[in-house]
Structure 1
Amino acid sequence: MFEIIKAGGLLMLPILLSSVIAMAIIVERYWTLRVSKVRPKDQLPQVWLWIKNHELDSTKIKELAQSSLFGFVLAAGLRTSKHGREAMKDAIQEAGNHAAHEMEKFLSTLGTIAAISPLMGLLGTVLGMVDVFSDIMLQGTGNTAVLAGGISKALITTAAGLSVAIPAVAFHRSLTRKVDELLVLMEQDSTKLVDAIHADTAKDKK
């Protein structure tokens, strides 16, 4: 393996570094974006139970905000629930934007790696072919070992760049879809809370 990396030339270093960064981002994002961590299933029923039992206070709202990203969104809405439906929806929307930003963290870096890795491989190809033609000019076509070395350098960097880019593209799309799905679920549950709270408020007024 080391010999292959060495044969690829200096551009193998940034390609390898990109692969390490991409792998770290993929592992970190999948761990962070677990449904049980971002949107625990029992969180909304627990909030509704607090409301029904008149147990919801600033301490519980603070704990809710710190428990998960979904809890952060719900807490933002609950803090403004007394100011009307629209104020509550606006607070949830703003908190949702913050949650989306947190969930999308590092995905732009992963997308950049997916885009530049094949370009680095292509650059390695070009440099390898430049070496090949330089050797041809200096030594002619008789020294096949030197020519093979230049062509090998070109092929290795191209293969390495694609080997990093292809999984990076796949995981970037997968993670982006995962974020979108979580945001949709959070929006649906938040809307249920808004409707439930203000439906009860309307009944109380009657």
Structure 2
Amino acid sequence: MFSILVAAGWPVVPLLLCSVIATALVIERFISLKSSKVLPPQLLGEAIGVSQGSIPSPDVVAKLERNSALGEMLAAGFRAAQAGGPATADDLRAAMESTGRAIAHRLERYLPALATIASAAPLLGLLGTVIGMIEIFGSQAPGAGGGGNPAQLAHGISIALYNTAFGLVVAVPTLIFWRYFRTRVDGYLLHMELAGDRFAEHLSRIRPGAGSAP
């Protein structure tokens, strides 16, 4: 493999850099998009359970906010309900949606970079191949001392095509992971939106002026 990369020449360097960056981003996204960090399955039920009749204490709300992305959104709903005066479901939903937009931006972090690498890698590979072909045919031109050896020409073309192959090797897995993470984020956002609607309806039924739980 190392000999192939050396033979491909300097155009393969940007592709190597893209592969390293893509690998790092994929690992980071796998860690950051764990269900336990974004959408714990029992959290909504627990938040509804501790707020039957009154809003929990600020300490409980702060702990909920640190729990996960969903917890951060539910905490925004608690704070909107604590702000004073009766709050409608639409008011509470709007408060959670504002926090939800910031969460969505955070969940989508680095996905554009993965998409860019998936799109650019084949083009970088093609560029390397074109540069290699130019150098090969230039060396085979009359008076260039290349001798017009067909075997040497074929070998040079095969080396030039390494760049295209390596570009595809980088692009295809990156595209697959980008599509996977994109779908996963969309699923998270849909479930969070549904959870926000349910939580807003729950909070709007809490009696106005209810004090914080001790």
In structure 1, the partner of 2:161 is 155
CA distance in 1, matches of 2:80, 2:122: 49
In structure 2, the partner of 1:48 is 48
CA distance in 2, matches of 1:133, 1:139: 12
Matched, 1:129 2:130: no
Alignment-mate amino acid for residue 64 of structure 1? L
1:162-183 CA-partner distances (Å, limit 9, x unpaired): 1111111111111101000000
Q: Work out whether residues 135 and 147 of structure 1, in 8 Å CA contact, stay in contact via their aligned partners in 2.
A: no
In structure 1, the partner of 2:196 is 190
Uncovered stretches (5+) of structure 2, i.e. residues with no partner: none
In structure 2, the partner of 1:174 is 180
Over aligned residue pairs, what C-alpha RMSD do you find?
Answer: 1.9
1:197 shift after superposition = 2.0
Which moves more between the two structures, 49-58 or 165-174? 49-58
In structure 1, the partner of 2:74 is 74
CA distance in 2, matches of 1:108, 1:84: 37
Q: Work out whether residues 39 and 68 of structure 1, in 8 Å CA contact, stay in contact via their aligned partners in 2.
A: yes
3-state SS of paired residue (1:52): coil
Write 1 or 2 for the structure with the bigger share of helix.
1
Which moves more between the two structures, 50-59 or 106-115? 50-59
Alignment-mate amino acid for residue 22 of structure 1? A
CA distance in 2, matches of 1:127, 1:153: 11
TM, length-normalised to structure 1? 0.91
1:16-60 CA-partner distances (Å, limit 9, x unpaired): 111111111112112211112211112112211211264601111
Matched, 1:100 2:104: yes
Matches within 5 A, 1:31-42: 31-42=31-42
Question: What is the count of residue pairs matched by the alignment?
Answer: 203
Uncovered stretches (5+) of structure 1, i.e. residues with no partner: none
1:109 to 97, 113, 135: 113
CA distance in 2, matches of 1:163, 1:170: 12
TM, length-normalised to structure 2? 0.88
Which moves more between the two structures, 153-162 or 22-31? 22-31
Higher relative contact order (CA 8 A, sep 6+): 2
1:5 shift after superposition = 0.5
1:150 shift after superposition = 2.7
Alignment-mate amino acid for residue 67 of structure 2? S
1:79-130 CA-partner distances (Å, limit 9, x unpaired): 1125332221111111111111111111111011001100100001101110
Which moves more between the two structures, 130-139 or 106-115? 130-139
Which moves more between the two structures, 52-61 or 21-30? 52-61
Identity rate of aligned residues, in percent?
Answer: 37
